[in-house]
A = this chain, B = another copy of it.
Amino acid sequence: MRNSRADVVAAALRVLEVQGLEGCSMRRVAAELEVQPSALYHHVPNKQTLLALMADEIVGGVGEPACAAAGSVSPGTGADAGSSVEGSSGAGSVAAGSPGADPRRICQALRDAMLAVRDGADVVATASAFRLGASAVENRLAALVGIDGARTLLLYTFGQAQATQTHRQAAAFGALLTGSGPAPAAADRTDVDPEPAAAADAEPEPGIDPALDLDASYARGIDLILAGLGATKAATSPRR
C-alpha cells in the first residue's frame, strides 16, 4: 500500500495552504504526492468529495465537548489566526449548564479553525451547506441556544469568515503592490495575479478602509445574535 485516502487529504491541505483554493488542483495534489493525477481517483471519486474531506479536517473537533486548542490540522506555517476575543457585552441570559459550553466559544473556535487555513472559510462553508441539518457544531449549538439560534450563529460565522479571509487576502496583496509594511508571510507566494484590486474598476473610491476591524466586529455580531435570543426567549415569542 503506497498512499491512503488520508495521505491524499493531507497533501491537498498542504497544497491549499501554499497555492490557495484556486491553485489547489488535482494535478498539483498528485504532484505533491509524487504520483500521476489519475492515481488520486483510486482514493477519492472526484474533486468535490476531496474538498468535503478537507473541510472535515479543517473544522476538526470543533463540535466536540472538549475542543480546547484542537489544532489537528496545522499544515505548515500557522499564519495569522490571532484574535481570541474576551470582553463580550451584555445578555448573559443564555448561559447553559456545563462550563466551557459557551456558544461564543464554539463559534469563535469554528471561525479560528477556518481562518487558520488559507481559503478555509470558502472550503468549509461550501461543504457545510450540504450537512445543514446534521453537523456536529450545529447540533451542539442547537442544544445551547435552540435550532434557530444555532443556524443564525453558524451562517453568520460562515459569511463573516469568508469576508474576513477575502479581505485579508486583498490587503496582503495591496501591501505587496505598494511595497509597504513587512512581508505578509514566509511562504513563497509566486501565484499572485498580475492584476490589482479586482473590483476597484470604475469607482474612484479611497480604497480599503483600514479601520474596519473584522475580528472585533465578528464578536459584536455574535453578541448581537445572543442578545436577540435572550430577548425573544424572555418575552413575546412562543418558541419555548
A37 in the interface, Cβ–Cβ < 8 Å? no
**Would you give the shortest CB distance from A114 to chain B, in whole angstroms?**
12
- Shortest Cβ distance from A211 into B: residue: B133
User: Per a CB cutoff under 8 Å, which of B52, B149, B163, B228 touches A129?
Assistant: B163
With a cutoff of 8 Å between Cβ atoms, the chain B residues found around residue A188 in the complex are: none
Q: Mark A34-53, 1 if CB is under 8 A from B, else 0.
A: 00000000000110110011
Check A163–B167 contact: CB distance below 8 A.
no
Check A148 against B221 for contact (C-beta < 8 Å): yes
Per-position contact with B for A214-229: 1 when CB-CB < 8 Å, else 0?
1001001101111111
**A208 in the interface, Cβ–Cβ < 8 Å?**
yes
For A212, the chain B residues whose CB sits under 8 A away are 132-133
Report how many copies the assembly holds.
Answer: 2
Give the secondary structure class of A's interface: helix
- Flag if A91 contacts B228 (CB, 8 Å): yes
Complex Cα–Cα for A134 and B52 (A): 33
Bound CA span A163–B232, Å:
25
C-alpha gap A121/B197 in the complex (Å) = 21
User: Would you call A2 an interface residue if the criterion is a C-beta within 8 Å of the partner chain's C-beta atoms?
Assistant: no
Q: Complex Cα distance A52/B197, Å?
A: 11
Selected interface stretch from A25-33, A69-77, A151-159, A176-184: A151-159
- Taking a contact as CB atoms closer than 8 A, the residue among B130, B133, B154, B208 that contacts A166 in the complex is B130
A123-177 CB contacts (< 8 Å) to partner B: 125-134, 148-149, 151-152, 154-160, 162-163, 166-167, 170
Please list the 5 inter-chain residue pairs (A to B) with the smallest Cβ-Cβ separation, ordered nearest first.
Answer: A159-B159, A228-B228, A90-B236, A52-B199, A129-B166
